[in-house]
Structure 1
């Protein structure tokens, strides 16, 4: 069994997985192609990444640009990645093995494989699971940095959600497949820089009107995050369009390219590839469980074995007729629920840690659980009631909140990328050698 195209794994592996270079092959002398603050990017690292990106583009039928253009684009992405990894190091951000193992298992699952089958397929394709794990860890670090730095700037208020629902009513039932080219601007650009970027964007627009291939131009010239995917933004529902495209895309015909659109991060060209209707709003019903629990955690005076033993003793006392509420007030380490006799009220899927939720799902109303282990300690759980609840309105509001949040994040991301670049010391020696 061979591994499917990595394109099916999403962007996380598109840029992360780098083929191993056979040690037996003679290696040319290495050199530094860029210095990013205190770190160097080597020619060998760049060439490995260029090879990998070329293979990915070919597998997705994205036209490969001129070799120098591709090398420049790849190095530019590597420079931005290196800045973010340095930010992660300074902030002591790390990915523990539990998170990493879960991510790798998800990748294997997305390819309909067990972890062992995934490892075998990687080996057959000349890669090792250990190498892939480190590349995935690296990509997860980048995502965490972006989440902490960009998402922390974004807030969506209840009033914004209300206003959106008033203006839009139900969610848009139209989705658009889009491609995108960005001609970026530096932070606080001069009038000359704006004029130059605008002229470049109009030149690209002219080339596209004359029949140039959008994906090839995007790969060679776009400063956007999706440049090495041919500028492909994928499918976006009408209510999920970036703010700057919300008024532009619906006015385009399929196959049409917009004129340059200005934003703080630069000038954008967007192409509407295809349109399809959505399914509209659907009723959302979830199972809610009314539960109470007693949490026995570990501490300097109570190890894991002692915590489990105490939890089992409490469970037996409840089963023998003692008051759940009184024992919760006396023993529970969950301060938030202990004073209420361990009551957690009605909880929905996703609100509790997985081990707790899995145990409740398997319980019958009135049942008392065995001690359930989670990262917080040992839980003794009682399922008091269960019901089906229509949460359509709540789900709609949450969907709108996430839509507005993602719009704001997308608007911020390009500007943040330019900001961190302008604040870093970058010595791009590849550009010097190509001049």
Structure 2
């Protein structure tokens, strides 16, 4: 046997069929590789798209990650709630409050522009609250959850009615006037007369147009649709409780007088349609929505905790005075001046003072001279003087203050601007005549910038704290407190913003002056401590205001802040 290798033919002597076969084999291999690459690229792209829409992390709370599928689910829930609310509002159009209803529809519709960011924040927020419930001892019971679900999934009872209202008070009554028994009896009798006209066959809309004192008289008394807790028409809803369509009810005594009602139609409360139907269309199942509502109800529970345990009727407080410096209207800060004036017009009833007589102009000049004497007095009270003498309704309640202006372009009429340019700070002009009347003007301040002004004031006040009230009256741009020497009164926790509260409660000595607190576009504030107490009762109105406005800050500071969170910047709100 021979072990020699088979002879290998060189390419020159190789048969042609072998070359063709080799070429075909290489071509097939190339096509196979290309197809494999294409399938790989396509598969990778498909997987990447699927991963992006389902598994991409969008947020994390305390180690738990939420992906794009979670976000999409939250978007569908919020979309369903918005669509349901808009649909319900649209069904109520066709009455005298259409403009208000349309504003509500537009407001809800605007939310679609930020749906994804709102949904991402909602995911994080509810996860944070769920993680913190034990810390604050709050929970949502099964009964509370069932009630919350029923409230959201049930279309409430609505009525559509017409109204004839007879006011008990005359048209020229003061806002605080209360009707007498005789006036109420007279209104009842007048309302009874309108009822008898309608019962006698007259058209309700015609009688309403002729006799009703309500603004709906112009539309035949139509109230449109309203529900039981309607702030304006709730009492009418109760009166129509047992009425059938077309029934007349009344006269009933109301806060304003006496009313006659006609029930046009009624929609009974129902769980059919409404939000439940929209949720199903959005692919949201009952269990998912139940979990969502539980998270929403946690906010209510935490709000109750805030009211009952955090903001109590008696709390440590600081009594302070303030000087407020408003931020400039324009973005560019230039050297500015400030002025105030008292305007005395010849005839305030005239739109054009050129129509006033010479005698009226002379009388105005005489009064302006008297005003000049008053404001030049050492203890001049510009607030009182302006309220008593100034015919400039815009500045009379602000002590005549005209605010800060650019001296190079003050924006005043020429005569006024020329007189002002001649004054030094604190100086008062003689009466200056313009087309508006006679002005007594004082240049009340000048500054390089609000920040420079605040720094100068703090330095001045710390050198002489006893002048705070006088300086506040003259310089503060919060006119309500300025007239009282800047006194703001007692301040409790969560009454102010975090930065302002920190400054107020950072004061420890009576008379101490705070650093300026610059809140950017919200202005600059300087405080002086007047009194401190470990426990002062908070009056009801202020307590209600704190419980309302302070809740979100408490949530941020005490509930959300301790929990580590992350939101993908693509889905994060730019205003959060």
Query: Could you state the TM-score of these two structures normalised by the residue count of structure 1?
Result: 0.37
Give me the TM-score of the superposition, normalised by structure 2: 0.29
Structure number with bigger Rg: 2
